[in-house]
Chain A
Amino acid sequence: MTLAATVLAAEENNPLLPHTYELVVGGLAFLLVFLVVGKILTPRIQKTLAERTEAIEGGIQKAENAQAEAQAVLQQYRDQLNEARQEAARLREEAREQGAQIKADLREEAQAEARRIVEAAHAQIEADKAQALAQLRSEIGRLSTDLAGRIVGESLEDEARQRRVVDRFLEELEGSGTTAVR
């Protein structure tokens, strides 16, 4: 009896065979969901998701731009700082060179001045010597003639003769003792 009932039930409702009314209901239900969810709502959420992606990408883009700008400014400052450092170094170097140049110039000048002074002194000495010599010569001449005149008498009082004698005497003197005088 149980078997018969089961077989009967199975024949009435084979689970592998669809009822027509279920096909109709299923089709309509699916169609409804497709129209509402698929056709009306899905495009809306797709649009929103696309907009969100765009917004996020825009935000990222903005942040990237800001970062790039900051980087550029930083780079600029670094460049300027570097430039300033180089400028300072250059100035220092220049100053050092200038200082060295000035020192050298001054030394040279001082040396030249010293040389000039020494030379002037030499010249002065030379001149004084010459003057002294000349003076000495005339003095010696006069003394000699005086002495000779005293010894020889008054014969040599004539001035022309006197000068000739003295000159001759001095030339002889120079000819024999140049080295001695100098």
Chain B
Amino acid sequence: MTTLTLLAADGEFQAPGPEIFNFPPLYSGAPVWLNKPVLLAVIGALIICVLAWTAFAKPKLVPRGIQNIGEYGYTFVRDQCARPFLGKDAERWMPLLLSLFLLILLWNFFGVIPVLQIPVNSHIAYPIIFAVTIYVIKVYLGIKHQGGIGYFKNMMFPPGLPKGVYVLMAPLELISNLVLAPFTHAVRLFANMFAGHLILAFFASVGFHFLFEQLTPLGAPLGLVGFLMTTLMTGFEIFIQFLQAFLFTMLAAMYIGGSLHAEH
């Protein structure tokens, strides 16, 4: 990393690459795992706990202040994610879905909060944790509610298709449900945060390089474009961060709902 910085310093513009996701330990002599994303992950979890505690610890019948915001979040997850896929089971799965949504949302938002500026979910380990949790629950519920054979039968042989189609359909459905679904579930969140952060870093470094490091008449407009695009993309990124948290939670609800009731 130090070599790269040195290389970039001698005039040429160096676009930021995947190395911007690597963080050294917080201080010299700290254990290798104690870096910025890990710290942010822990702080994020604590913030969620504290915020949720102030909102929901002693809920009033007539909500005041932060309870309003908390309830807004709760009803959003319940009405947009849980109820469409879980129906009357929605309330039972809300603890998991609400925790999932809030934590992912804040971890994503860290990407646009000044100074912090790294979405925790751009490190694939975190999306993997969420996706694996949901995957385990999905398979467990599927076998519990539909039976060991029934689960795979319902998965691979959805009713109402001509017999020949199943030759093609059955293996595709098996792979899609057991391999691709959890993979895309995790990678979708990771890749969006990863790419979003890369784009922001790119435009920001364009602006910084051409307006501050190497201010030339020819480069200045380019630097201005980079600055404007950074602003614009930050707004867009906030939207994507929210959307991905919502989508991840919605898909989790969908997978759980699909395992509870076999229906296609």
Interface residues of A (CB under 8 A from B): 1-2, 5-6, 9-10, 12-13, 15-19, 21-23, 25-27, 29-30, 32-34, 36-39, 41-49, 51-52, 55
The residue from A1, A10, A16, A32 contacting B7, defined by CB atoms under 8 A apart:
A1
17 A-B pairs (CB sep. < 8 Å): A1-B7, A10-B18, A10-B19, A13-B22, A15-B122, A19-B33, A23-B128, A25-B38, A26-B41, A32-B45, A37-B49, A38-B95, A39-B95, A41-B57, A42-B74, A43-B95, A45-B56
Interface of B is mostly: helix
> Within 8 Å of chain A (Cβ to Cβ): is B215?
no
The residue from B60, B98, B124 contacting A15, defined by CB atoms under 8 A apart:
B124
> Within 8 Å of chain A (Cβ to Cβ): is B4?
yes
Residues A38 and B98 in contact, CB atoms below 8 Å apart: yes
B99 to chain A: which residues have CB within 8 Å? Answer: 30, 33-34, 37-38, 42
> Within 8 Å of chain A (Cβ to Cβ): is B91?
yes
B94 to chain A: which residues have CB within 8 Å? Answer: 42, 46
Residues A36 and B18 in contact, CB atoms below 8 Å apart: no
Residues A41 and B48 in contact, CB atoms below 8 Å apart: no
Interface residues of B (CB under 8 A from A): 1, 3-4, 7, 17-19, 21-22, 32-33, 37-38, 41-42, 44-46, 48-49, 52-53, 55-61, 70-71, 74-75, 91, 94-96, 98-100, 102-103, 122-126, 128-130, 133, 194
The residue from B32, B38, B55, B128 contacting A18, defined by CB atoms under 8 A apart:
B128
A30 to B125 alpha-carbon distance, docked (Å)? 12
Of A15, A17, A43, chain B has the most CB atoms within 10 Å of the CB of: A15
Q: Which residue of B lies closest to A45 (CB)?
A: B56
Given A17-B124, A29-B41, A9–B48 Cβ distance below 8 Å? no
Given A29-B44, A45-B74, A5–B18 Cβ distance below 8 Å? no
The residue from A5, A13, A41, A47 contacting B52, defined by CB atoms under 8 A apart:
A41
A13 to B59 alpha-carbon distance, docked (Å)? 45
A178 to B76 alpha-carbon distance, docked (Å)? 129
Residues A33 and B129 in contact, CB atoms below 8 Å apart: no
B44 to chain A: which residues have CB within 8 Å? Answer: 29
Residues A9 and B102 in contact, CB atoms below 8 Å apart: no
Residues A22 and B7 in contact, CB atoms below 8 Å apart: no
What are the 10 A-B residue pairs with the smallest beta carbon separation, nearest first?
A38-B95, A22-B125, A18-B125, A21-B33, A29-B45, A48-B59, A41-B56, A26-B129, A38-B99, A42-B95
